[in-house]
Structure 1
Amino acid sequence: MVLPKSPRAGVRAATVLVAAALVAAGCGPSSTSAGSDSTTLVTYSGQSGDYQLNFNPFAPTSIGGAGTIFQTLFFYNVLRDTPPEPRLGEDFAWNADGTRLSITLRDGVTWSDGEKFTAADVVFTLDMISRHKGMNNTGYAGRAEAVDDTHVVVTFDRPSFVDGPSVLGRTYIVPEHKWKDIADPGVAAVDKPVGTGPYVLDEFKPQAYTLKANPTYWGGEPAVKKVRSLSLSGNQAGIAALKAGQLDWQTGPVPELQNVDKAYPGYQAGVFHLNQIVLDTCSSAASGCRGPQTDPAVRQAIYLAIDRGQTNALAFENTGSEVSPSFLLPKRDGALISDKLRNRTAPMRPDVAQARRTLEGAGYTKDADGIYAKDGEQAALTLTVVAGWTDYITAAETIGQQLRQAGIKLTTQQVSWNEFVDAKNLGRFQLMIDSLYQGPAPDPYYLYSYFFSTAQTAAVGAKAGPNAARFSDPEVDQALDALKLLDPADTAARRPHLEKIQTRVEEVMPYIPVLTQGTITTYHSAKFTGWPTDSDLYASPAVWAHPDSAEVLVRLRPAGK
């Protein structure tokens, strides 16, 4: 299965899932390079540094193609309580005990090279994931069989209802005839992608790549004929390009957010809350992590010493919202947050005195530099951030100043995106400012299974799955195993297992919660119509959200057409 890359990275209605606000409406198109071609859409997702050519949707270094080139069987909208929408699949059904998933595929679909898409491609993709552990980020354990060209049956040894959204909505189907000879498909570079989606690769350059509309797409050739994705030096360059009207769609910080209509004529902006900003910690000494962050007392002290209100104001224009140390979303999952937690939501103001008491209770004493130390080692840490991510850099530097008050020394290290990914995958870091993302359906099980399962991590030096913190806990694993056997609709049966995970996560804290991120997306409404809005959140409006961005692209139309 493929999980979303770290964004910049049926339970509740959309109004409690997202705090999406229409900020402003522009008054006319910009007379700039973006506005000069009414059928080419220019995007910026926050990419800093050159692109490395790779459209493998399973690879951690993939630069795109998920949803646009390679498609899933169905589309699940995690922002709204709506049924999954057919894509390469047309229908699916479970048997009564959740051990057999029957899927009907769309007939008449062809790959972009003209070959016919069949059930054999679906079986090949699922089998490939089973064979390569590094690709199996969701613990998929099914056995797929093609009944005929348009029907697939996936059999499980035990109830597996929760596997449905991952198999159906987050597995990008690839062509067997192109992929069967790839030795290591989890990391291989794919430079000539062949898919079933609405777009194909047109041109690649390190500073930008362009997709063009697929004329044989089963859903009809998109009205947006080309999509150009830019690599810039960082957020400031993105803001300058937006100001000049050279971008049509950007997800990232925007100064003067409340005055978009004046600062960026022709644009609108929205804010939604879904992913959680955290400090990833390489937490497990047993797995090879080294540094003060391997001590839970240090992690708890950092949690207590962060001034979230100040960080929100200085780094995020107050667009962030409260975050729960359980990592359930307070608005979406409020009814499931355990009463056994010490904090239902992380305090917005720091408790420096308690942070100091926590360290002193664990045997730390202040040295001559005013930094707490134990056994001759200072509570001195390096916090890694992607160069060019100005909001995260500001947050990192702000948190560093705050922690100094609690006797903890923090040094910010800026690296390229590729260096960041490599360090995260291999555990070569102490702290990283990052974000946790939600799963394929509005259910906290998925975030827990991604980031807190032993199956999704590895020793330092080996490539981990999403669990970059190297966290491993038998109680959490047991609770996840129990949840996997239960029907997601059985809230009463699931509650004690969710509570067990929440209390352990708060106690051990391998990811230190900062804020629920206010994701800002700005788009050129004077040039294209059909964007997601708070009244019609048919998909996530973030450029980097996959496969959601493809859903947006196929709905857009040049203004006036």
Structure 2
Amino acid sequence: MTVSKKPGAGPRAAAALMAALVVAAGCGSSDTSAGAETPTLVAYTGQSTDYQINFNPFAPTSIGGTGTIFQTLFFYNIVRDDEPTPRLGTQFAWNADGTQLSITLRDGVTWSDGEKFTADDVVFTLDMISKHKGMNSTGYAGRATAVDDTHVSITFEQPSFVDGPSVLGKTYIVPAHRWKDIADPAVAVVADPVGTGPYLLEEFKPQAYTLKANPSYFGGEPAVKKIRYLALSGNQSGATALKAGQIDWQTGPVPDVKDVEKNYPGYKSVITPVNQIALYTCSSAALGCQGPQTDPAVRQAIYHAIDRTQLNALAFEGTGSEVSPSFLLPDRDGELISGKLRQRTAPMQPDTVRAQQILEGAGYAKGSDGVYAKDGKPLSLTLKTVSGWTDYITAVNTIGQQLKQVGIKLTAQQLSWNEFVDAKDRGQYQLIIDSLYQGPAPDPYYLYSYFFSTAQTAKVGAKPGPNVSRFSDQQVDQALDALKRINPADAAARQPHLEAIQTRVEQAMPYIPVLTQGTINVYHDAKFTGWPSGGDLYAFPAVWAHPDNAEVFLRLKPAGK
């Protein structure tokens, strides 16, 4: 999900009035009210419409609670190579060939309804994921057994070292006694979440929901006693609330981001390049996608037509950076990027001649209206984004003008967040703008297995895993299977398979790389201390990132305490 969202349509005065009303009703001041012991931390994720209650950690419409209410066994830091931090688990070990993972669980943990947490809950969660493909976003294929209340053994049919971080760091454990009777847990609405985490749901309203500290949390009651998540009308109303000191943590664009400390006294910012902005394409005609974007030549032409320097300046305040067509991070994964790629990083300047050559070589001819066509059908595409995501809206409009220069007609369409998610899941789109996220550990295998594996996709109309582009390629699948069997410590053995994926991804381009996104975080340093910063990125600092956000909440303390 993008880090930024903003107001959709309507006069500026109406948008400003809505922002003021929502801030007044949903948030008020973030300062400590008279008589209160500790201040409430007010967070804005970029939610640009009212919340619809759902704390199911596996549902695409989940609004939160992952990490704060529901926990993983360990926490992995994706921005630096730290040792995993114990959470519900305390130790883990693989056997020599990577076919058995043994996990020791924390003893004495209780669910928030008072029931005891045991290995049976872990086994239940993993079995549930196995049975429901829509929940299995990590491709888990193990068989879990409860050895006793505090020990779990997971066996795999083949070496599965790379499954460790996904199972341990990205699987949210749920209580068997509350979930065993849910008919379809992949989409069920959970309005009364019971978890083991440091926070509990205190109150839900469509404009805001509040979490309160869990006094029975095994790690001790958090110093931040309440967290309020706001729904506003988008980035502009978020910036207004931030300027008024009514938000304590916001992830998303703010005006003049380089002067945050001057413009927002008491606040600081950190920009982290981790996720990659891309134009998702519904790419596979064989799996039911329809439209010109199913032609790889069209995708390649769009890739060369984008003016990334202009786009970065107009839409992202220069916070974006180069992106590789391999979707490896140039800074983090630089040594792994293949020398066989046509381009190590996507061009920052457009190559309109190359874009047109690709189209004409694929049988497209430019009409009198300046738009290319083939078989009598004009090269016209719709690009969807979310109402309120102003940086992405600006990006979409800018890309539309850029593609016009090479004879591609692009129509922008703004949707609500739920409509956007539904379009992705059902494959009812041609292009959407979003970002590819990293996996549970700093290893490109996970992004590839999420977004490019056949196991993570489905025909149009059926719910896929993260691979909503419907991309399916035997060469990529074979390389992923090989990587799954190799110990991640053996870099030399892995590299040929990583290179096979990179070259195929660059050729097929089901996701058209735009920029590496500089994730912008603005935080109230004068009110709370302990934020992750450039000098200590103990977690990915994004309010919508999970379970990273929970790690941040656990580290924070009210200023002066």
TM-score (norm 2): 0.94
Give runs of ≥4 in structure 1 deviating > 4 Å. Answer: 5-9
Is the Cα–Cα contact under 8 Å of residues 352 and 405 in structure 1 kept in the other structure? yes
Cα distance between partner residues in 2 of 1:6 and 1:314: 17
Where 2:286 maps in the other structure, the secondary structure is helix
Distance 2:502 2:159 in 1: 23
Q: In structure 1, what is the equivalent of residue 30 of structure 2?
A: 34
CA contact (8 A) 1:425 1:463 kept: yes
Per-residue CA deviations over 1:326-383 (Å, capped at 9, x if unaligned) read: 0000011111111110100000000001100110010100112100000011111000
Whether 2:299 is the aligned partner of 1:303: answer no
Instruction: Specify the SS of the correspondent of 1:287.
Output: coil
Distance, in Å, in 2 between the alignment partners of 1:258 and 1:150 is 49
Alpha-carbon distance between aligned partners in 1 of 2:504 and 2:467, rounded to the nearest angstrom: 15
**In structure 1, what is the Cα distance between the partners aligned to 2:345 and 2:437?**
18
Q: CA deviation at 1:398?
A: 0.3
Residues 254-263 or 537-546, more deviating: 254-263
Give 2:65's aligned residue: 65
Structure 1 residue 551, shift from structure 2 partner: 0.4
| Cα deviation 1:193-220 (Å, max 9, x = unaligned) | 0000000000000111000000100000
Residues 451 and 433 of structure 1, relative CA distance in 2, 3 Å threshold: same
Q: Secondary structure in 2 aligned to 1:325?
A: coil
- Distance, in Å, in 1 between the alignment partners of 2:316 and 2:479 is 35
What is the CA distance between 1:139 and its match in structure 2?
1.5
Alignment of 1:208-357 (within 5 A): 208-357=208-357
Q: 2:178 is matched by which residue type in structure 1?
A: K
Partners of 2:515 and 2:55 in 1: CA distance = 31
Q: Which residue of 2 aligns with 1:538?
A: 538
Name the SS for the 1:268 alignment partner. Answer: strand
Residues 488-510 of structure 1 show CA distances to partners (whole Å, capped at 9, x for unaligned) of 11111111111111001000100
Matches within 5 A, 1:331-480: 331-480=331-480
Match of 1:25 in 2: none
1:521 and 1:59 map into 2 onto residues whose CA distance is: 26
The aligned amino acid for 2:134 is G
Where 1:269 maps in the other structure, the secondary structure is strand
Q: Distance in 1 between matches of 2:372 and 2:100?
A: 56
Please tell me whether residue 204 in structure 1 is matched to residue 204 in structure 2: yes
Structure 2 CA distance for aligned equivalents of residues 258 and 188 of structure 1? 42
What does residue 27 of structure 1 align with?
none
2:504 matched to which residue of 1?
A: 504
Q: Deviations over 1:201-260 (max 9, x none)?
A: 000001110000001000001111110000011111111110111100000001111211
Provide the C-alpha distance between the structure 1 equivalents of 2:240 and 2:221, rounded to a whole number of angstroms. Answer: 32
Could you tell me how far apart the structure 2 residues matched to 1:434 and 1:75 are? 25
CA distance in 1, matches of 2:495, 2:527: 48
Letter in 1 for 2:454: T
- Measure, in 2, the Cα distance between the counterparts of 1:514 and 1:163: 29
Report deviation, 1:79: 1.1
State how far apart, in whole Å, the 1-side matches of 2:81 and 2:481 are. 25
CA 1:7–1:287: 2 relative to 1, 3 Å: farther
The one-letter code matched in structure 1 to 2:234 is G
User: 1:7: Cα distance to partner?
Assistant: 5.2
Match of 1:347, SS state, is coil
Deviates more, 1:300-309 or 1:459-468: 459-468
| Separation in structure 1 between the aligned mates of residue 161 and residue 236 of structure 2, nearest angstrom | 44
How far 1:6 sits from its partner (Å)? 6.0
Q: Give yes or no for contact 1:6–1:437 (8 Å, CA) kept in 2.
A: no
For residue 181 of structure 2, give the secondary structure of its aligned residue in structure 1.
coil
Q: Contact 1:78/1:441 (CA < 8 Å) preserved in 2?
A: yes
- Paired with 1:113 and 1:49, the residues of 2 have a C-alpha distance of 31
* Map of 1:484 onto structure 2: 484
* Alignment check: 8 A CA contact 2:3 2:519 kept: no
Q: Secondary structure at the match of 1:432?
A: strand
The one-letter amino acid paired with 2:338 is S
Other structure's SS at 1:184 match: coil
Residue 39 of structure 1: how far off its partner (Å): 2.4
Instruction: String of CA shifts for 1:133-172, please: whole Å, max 9, x gaps.
Output: 1111122111111111101110111100000000000000
Quote how far apart the aligned CAs of 1:82 are.
1.2
3-state secondary structure, aligned to 1:468: coil
The letter for the 1-side match of 2:472 is: S
Distance across 1 between alignment mates of 2:379 and 2:164: 44
Structure 1 equivalent of residue 10 of structure 2:
none
Q: What do residues 450-501 of structure 1 show as CA deviations (whole Å, max 9, x unaligned)?
A: 0000010111111111001100001111110111010111111111111111
Shift of 1:36: 3.1
Distance in 2 separating the partners of 1:483 and 1:396: 36
Contact kept, 8 Å, 1:8 with 1:435, in 2: the verdict is: no
Q: In the alignment, which residue of structure 1 is the partner of 2:17?
A: none
Q: CA RMSD in A?
A: 0.9
Aligned 8 A contact 2:133 2:465 in 1: no
- Report the alpha carbon displacement of residue 534 of structure 1 after superposing the two structures with TM: 1.0
% identical equivalent positions: 76
**Gap regions ≥5 residues in structure 1:** 10-31
Q: How do residues 83-122 of structure 1 correspond to structure 2 at under 5 angstroms? A: 83-122=83-122
Q: Structure 1 residues 70 and 97 mapped into 2: Cα distance closer, same or farther (>3 Å)?
A: same
CA contact (8 A) 1:260 1:269 kept: yes
Pairwise CA distance, 1:42:
0.3
Q: Kindly tell me: are residues 7 and 526 of structure 1, through their superposed partners in 2, closer, same or farther at Cα, counting changes over 3 Å?
A: closer
Number of aligned residue pairs: 535
CA separation in 1, counterparts of 2:475 and 2:282?
Answer: 20
Distance in 1 of aligned mates of 2:384 and 2:409: 14
Q: Conserved in 1, the CA contact under 8 Å of 2:305 and 2:350?
A: yes
CA contact (8 A) 1:6 1:436 kept: no
Q: Secondary structure at the match of 2:162?
A: helix
